[in-house]
Chain A
C-alpha cells in the first residue's frame, strides 16, 4: 500500500532517508513549477526548491498534521520565494529575468487550438500579455492566482498556505482578476 504524504513526512521526522527520497520524488516537479512561476528565474528557482527540501528534512517534525502535507509544503516553498524576492528586489531592477532575456516565451503550453492561424496568433499574444500582467501583480495577489489557477488549490487551502483568512484570499483573487480583466480589455 502506498504511504500518504503525511505518513512519509512523519517518517522523515524520524530521519527515514527513503521516505524523504519518496517525498522529493512526489513534490519536486510541483515545487519547481511554483518556484519558477513566482521567481521567473531558473537558477533562483533551483536554489529555492533545494532549500525547501532541506527545510522539509530539518523541520518535518514541526508538521502538525492539521493541514494536508501539500499545503504545508507549498507554504514552505512560497515563503522561501517571497523571501528571495524581498532580498533581491533591488538587484532585480538591474538584472532582469534571464529567461526573458534569453528570448524564452512565457507560453510553452498553448491554449486550446484554433483553426484560424490569425486568431491563434492573437490569442497567444493575449495570453502572453495576460501572464505578463500576472507577473506584475502584487506578490500576495500573484501568489493567490498561481495557487488557484496553476496548483488548483481551493480558497481554504490558499488561506492556509498564505496564513490568512478565506475572506482575504477572496479579496486578493477578486482584485487580481479585476486587474487582469482590464489588461485583456485594453488589448
Chain B
C-alpha cells in the first residue's frame, strides 16, 4: 500500500492531528497491518520514554540564585560608563566642548611616527631667518669688512 503515513503516526498517537487527517490515518491503519504495528510500537515507545525520563541531579538553589544575581550585576556593570544614560545637560555640555576643541584645535603637531612631518616643522621654525635674509647677508658683509679693516694689521705682522 502506497503513501504510508509514517511521520503522521506520532501526532496521530498523541491525538494532535486535525479531524480530517486523523480520519485519513485511522482508515489507513485499518487496511495496513504494517502501519498498525508501527503505531502500536510508537505508542509503547513514547509511553516508556515518558515514564522513564531521567531526573537531573539535585541542585542547591540558594547558591544558584546567588550566582545568577552576581552574573546579572556583573552584566549591568559591564555596560557602566558608556552605556548608562548620561543626564541631558551633561551630554550637551560635553558635546559643546568637543565641538569647540574640534574647531579651534591648534596646528598639527608632529606625531613622531612620520619623519616628513618632523622635518617640515623644523624648516618652519627657520622661516623667520629667511625673512631677514638681507640682514644675514649684511652680517656676512660686515664680517668681510672686519677682515678688510684689519688688513693693515695683517700687513704689519707679515712685515715683522
Contact = CB atoms under 8 A, between A and B. Distances in A.
B75 A54 contact: yes
Interface residues of A, number: 46
Contacts of A28: 61, 64
Interface string B2-15: 00001111110010
A104 interface: yes
B56 A36 contact: yes
22 contacts: A33-B56, A36-B57, A37-B54, A42-B57, A42-B59, A51-B71, A58-B75, A99-B57, A106-B54, A108-B55, A111-B48, A111-B52, A130-B48, A131-B49, A148-B10, A148-B46, A149-B46, A149-B53, A154-B14, A170-B11, A174-B6, A180-B45
Considering the complex of A and B, which 6 residue pairs feature the smallest CB-CB distances, nearest first?
A36-B56, A108-B55, A170-B7, A127-B52, A174-B7, A149-B49
Contacts of A111: 48, 51-52
Nearest to B50: A149
A181 B7 contact: no
A174 B12 CA distance: 12
Contacts of A170: 7-8, 10-11
A174 B67 CA distance: 40
A173 interface: yes
Interface string A164-187: 000100110110010011001000
A24 B45 contact: no
B7 A167 contact: yes
B32 to A, nearest CB: 16
Contact of A37 (B7, B52, B56, B61): B56
Interface string A76-92: 00000000000000000
B80 to A, nearest CB: 15
A113 to B, nearest CB: 11
Contacts of B55: 33, 108-109
Contacts of A57: 72
Contacts of A32: 56, 59
Nearest to B55: A108
A112 interface: yes
B67 A171 contact: no
A107 B67 CA distance: 28
Contacts of A181: 41-42, 45
Nearest to B75: A54
Contacts of B57: 36, 42, 99, 104
A128 to B, nearest CB: 8
Nearest to A33: B56
Interface string A103-138: 010111111100000000000000100110010000
A160 interface: no
Nearest to A45: B56
B42 A107 contact: no
Nearest to B51: A111
A53 B56 CA distance: 19
A50 B67 contact: yes
